[in-house]
Amino acid sequence: MIPKFLRTACAAAALTLAPVLLAAPARAEDKAAILLPGSINDQSWNALGYSILLSLKPHGFATAYSENVADSEEAEALRDYASKGYGIVIGHSGRFISSIEQVAPEFPKVQFVVVGGNQGQAPNVMSIDYNNAQFGCQVGTLAARMSKTHMVAGVYGLEGVPNITAQAGAFRICATKAGAKVSIIYVKDMEDAAAAKEAALALIASGADVLTGKLNAAEAGLIQAAKEKGVYVTGRGFDQTAAAPDKVLTNITEDWPAMFGAMSEKVKAGSLFSTFTLYGYNTAPVTGGKLEYEAGKEFNPVVPAAVVDELHEMAKKFADGSMKIEPTREDAKGGS
């Protein structure tokens, strides 16, 4: 049996023939790899991870990836890439942080990056994320304003992971402040669309008429439940708008290429980072994410102009620092 992490799809930089010489092969610091917890075809989180990798090619990196990496294979996969000269090795979710912190000291000249993590480790482990709390708060307000039953709900995975706590907790805080009752369900597997759909249907049966979530491939089940039952939902990408254009209100779209661009150039120049970098409305022009219904349009036309204005005002307050939100695990707990 060949371990999943060895079944990688590599996209090496092409060698260009010149009249006399071949182009020099990529140096160690010019190679980047990413480990993904699911499939690049999930139209959600893992597809975003693949987009990060593709965004490094214009910066001169040869790339490789491993998908469907099991917990038990993480450390070995990280070592494999680092030992083969990859200068940037990325774990695509906070679940990789423990393995990366274990392996990184063995390769002090490699930049390890946790996507969606919340901590760094000197000298070469950094985390990058967007401000889930800011966007979760906006979605919570939107959901409450669009609800007729004054009952809204979220379906999430990975309970207790910091960025899930931030988004789910902010959703609850801001939806509650806007007058809605909030219910949250956690599913065991971020990739299980059937489980997410079942959870969403249960929430709808209990009266929720606007749903949200932060899932991987399982996000498709959430969208499908909303479509079948005729309730509103927010998603994570334009594919979800296309799947239910009448019911998707907006998507939290994540701009990982912008977040990674500056870091990759500095690593090529010899820098290493051990920081946690958080992007949001207060770090413009790179905010890490946007609310987008489709290209060039923030919201479904059914969202009233007054609600749009309220969400814009909220973004301005996050940007100037007059509004801050720091959800706790209690805010993000499952249940009502």
In tens, the pLDDT along 257-268 reads 888 887 898 898
**Domain 132-254+286-320's class?**
alpha beta
Q: Bin 160: left if φ > 0, else alpha if -120 < ψ < 50, else beta.
A: left
User: Is the Cα dihedral 175, 176, 181, 184 positive or negative?
Assistant: positive
| H-run or E-run covering 130 | strand 125-130
User: What residues contact residue 245 under an 8 Å CB cut-off, 6+ apart?
Assistant: 300
pLDDT digit string (tens) for 58-99?
Answer: 999 999 999 999 999 999 999 999 999 999 999 999 889 999
pLDDT at 243: 96
Show me where the domains of the chain are located.
4-131+257-281, 132-254+286-320
Contacts 24+ apart (CB under 8 A), 270-274: 270/29, 272/109, 272/111, 272/123, 272/124, 273/111, 273/120, 273/124, 273/126, 274/120, 274/121, 274/122, 274/123, 274/124, 274/125, 274/126
pLDDT digit string (tens) for 275-330?
Answer: 999 999 999 999 999 999 999 999 999 999 999 999 999 999 999 999 999 999 99
pTM comes to: 0.82
CB atoms within 10 A of CB 330: 9
pLDDT at 2 over 50: no
Q: Quick check: 33 and 87 in contact, CB under 8 A?
A: no
**Domain 4-131+257-281's class?**
alpha beta
Q: Bin 75: left if φ > 0, else alpha if -120 < ψ < 50, else beta.
A: alpha
pLDDT digit string (tens) for 97-140?
Answer: 999 999 999 999 999 999 988 899 999 999 999 999 999 999 99
- The pair of structure tokens assigned to 284 is 């413009």
Position 146 confidence tier, pLDDT thresholds 50, 70, 90: very high
